[in-house]
């Protein structure tokens, strides 16, 4: 048995798979022991150790001359590394596939110049596929970009700092033009109202498939058309701070290949955004809206959003999650009386999506006891014959904790009875996959 195990582990593909399960916190000492004591198993063990690099300083630390400069928080080479030290450093760098670049700023530019002098135009991280927390500002060593932005890079988490503009912005974004997945974070400085300058990302990326924008973007028609023009875009996650007022006057922007949409915006902006676009291949929708003082008629806006999405993706839609959340700026707005039950948002277009298997509706109820929004028996009966493939149904009315106990139990029960176990049982029988 022991001989059979040894023969199996001698196969590099098998040993890599086995050691892959040892990756993570608390297992590095085990992998390091294997790498030191067994020459045959050393390569796959080292590959497992260096596959994910949580701190770029750990890689440079294998060179003994690398250390913190006295009186500062930057790291330098105290003297030039030897040929053997460089080769050891390079052998580990070639194994890195996933790296956190947050501490990049602590490496002195002189270190990157030394790396460039040794490796030249050869990629320092030829197998690097994912780069997390690439914080870009004027203090970022330009030389580091040459070595970090590998041609095999596929996923990048970009954190744009202040003054990321002009030549630096173009150098970073053009170096990422080949990536499949891009997450543009929103890094705040100072007051809550201070916003980092938006990136003109839509002009650079032709091959991106998954785009996540956490910049609280001010959307314009130009930007919306830029998104729609991305030929391979499959997933879009975006937080919208504002949307162009004249957007509804324009023709629809068709997202021909988009399959997943996750968006946060005010009720008015979301309605304008959704009704200005067309998603023929949309499968997953996750929308969160909140009301502002300018929004009038929650029911009409909500129905328009869901109706347009359902009509555009009638055959393709599989998952819809819609949430009317508490306003982030005003905790005391009143929900208009035109939204009285879940039936108000279950539009006919939504009921006619045959392939839907997940539906989540979450409505926040503000501090107004006389506005009684609940899930009634009639709501479930209304949708009994819809969505035969349904696997998950969530109808959620969120009351504040201090009000839930004091609410009367269905004061209008004679008109609209509360949900019953009998109706739930009937619904479950009609949806065997639920």
Mean pLDDT computed over 32-43 = 70
Least Cα distance to 257 among 277, 276, 281 occurs for 281
- Residue 370 confidence (pLDDT): 41
Regarding beta strands 98-100 and 181-184, do their DSSP bridges make them parallel or antiparallel, or are they unpaired? unpaired
How high is the pLDDT of residue 427?
92
Tokens representing 160 are 């744009």
pLDDT of 154 above 60: yes
- Joined together, the tokens standing for residue 299 give 């029911």
Task: For 206-215, write each residue's pLDDT tens digit.
Answer: 788 998 887 6
User: Two tokens at 360?
Assistant: 């989540």
Give dist(CA 281, CA 303) in Å, integer: 21
List the one residue out of 202, 140, 211, 147 whose CA is nearest residue 175.
147
What pLDDT score does 93 carry? 92
pLDDT at position 192 is 40
pLDDT for residue 189: 36
**Number of Cβ atoms within 10 Å of the Cβ of 370:** 7
Note the pLDDT of residue 202. 55
pLDDT at 22 over 80: no
User: If you average pLDDT over residues 78-94, what whole number do you get?
Assistant: 91
Q: What is the pLDDT of residues 233-272, one digit of tens each?
A: 999 998 888 887 665 555 678 898 999 999 999 888 899 8
pLDDT at 342 (0 to 100): 76
CA gap 231, 243 in Å, rounded: 23
Please tell me the distance from the alpha carbon of residue 326 to that of residue 336, in angstroms, as a whole number: 14
Question: What are the angstrom distances between the C-alpha of 266 and each of 157, 224, 260?
Answer: 26, 17, 20
pLDDT, mean of residues 175-187: 78
Encode pLDDT of 286-329 as tens digits. Answer: 999 887 766 667 788 888 999 999 988 888 999 999 988 766 66
**pLDDT score recorded for residue 250:** 56
Q: What is the mean pLDDT of residues 57-71?
A: 87
233 vs 30, higher pLDDT: 233
Residue 89 DSSP class? H
Contact (CB, 8 A) for 290 and 326 = yes
Sorted by sequence, the CB contacts under 8 Å of residue 376 that are 6+ apart come out as 341, 342, 343, 416, 417, 418, 419
Please provide the size of the chain in residues: 434
Based on DSSP, count helices (H) and strands (E) in the chain, helices before strands: 16, 16
% of the chain at pLDDT higher than 90: 21
What whole-number distance in Å separates Cα of residue 173 and Cα of residue 166?
Answer: 11
């Amino acid at each position: 048995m022991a001989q059979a195990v040894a023969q199996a582990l001698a196969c590099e593909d098998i040993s890599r798979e086995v050691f892959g399960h040892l990756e993570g916190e608390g297992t590095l000492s085990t992998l390091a022991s294997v790498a030191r004591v067994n020459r045959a198993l050393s390569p796959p063990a080292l590959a497992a150790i260096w596959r994910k690099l949580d701190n770029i300083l750990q890689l440079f630390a294998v060179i003994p001359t690398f250390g913190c400069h006295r009186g500062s928080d930057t790291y330098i080479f105290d003297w030039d590394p030897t040929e053997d030290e460089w080769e050891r450093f390079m052998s580990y760098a070639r194994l890195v596939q996933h790296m956190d670049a947050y501490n990049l700023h602590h490496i002195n530019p002189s270190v990157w110049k030394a790396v460039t002098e040794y490796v030249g135009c050869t990629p320092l991280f030829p197998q690097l596929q994912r780069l997390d927390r690439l914080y870009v500002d004027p203090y970022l060593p330009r030389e580091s970009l040459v070595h970090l932005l590998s041609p095999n890079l596929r996923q990048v988490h970009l954190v744009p700092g202040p003054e990321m503009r002009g030549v630096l912005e173009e150098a970073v974004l053009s170096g990422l033009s080949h990536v499949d997945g891009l997450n543009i974070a929103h890094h705040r400085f100072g007051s809550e109202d201070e916003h980092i300058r938006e990136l003109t990302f839509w002009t650079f990326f032709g091959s991106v498939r998954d785009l996540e924008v956490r910049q609280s973007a001010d959307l314009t028609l130009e930007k919306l058309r830029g998104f729609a023009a991305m030929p391979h875009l499959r997933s879009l996650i975006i937080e919208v701070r504002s949307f162009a007022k004249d957007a509804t006057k324009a023709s629809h922007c068709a997202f021909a290949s988009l399959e997943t949409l996750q968006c946060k915006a005010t009720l008015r902006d979301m309605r304008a955004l959704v009704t200005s676009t067309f998603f023929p291949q949309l499968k997953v929708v996750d929308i969160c809206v909140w009301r502002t003082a300018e929004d009038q008629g929650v029911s009409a806006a909500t129905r328009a959003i869901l109706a347009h999405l359902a009509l555009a993706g009638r055959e393709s839609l599989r998952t819809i999650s819609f949430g009317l959340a508490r306003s982030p700026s005003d905790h005391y707005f009143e929900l208009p009386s035109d939204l009285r039950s879940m039936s108000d948002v279950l539009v006919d277009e939504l009921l006619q999506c045959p392939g839907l298997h997940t539906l989540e509706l979450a409505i926040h109820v503000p501090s107004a006891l006389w506005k009684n929004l609940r899930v009634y028996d009639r709501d479930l009966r209304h949708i009994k014959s819809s969505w035969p493939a349904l696997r998950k149904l969530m109808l959620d009315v969120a009351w504040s904790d201090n009000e839930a106990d004091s609410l009367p139990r269905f004061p209008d029960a004679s008109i609209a009875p509360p949900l019953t176990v009998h109706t739930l049982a009937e619904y479950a029988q009609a949806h065997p996959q639920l």
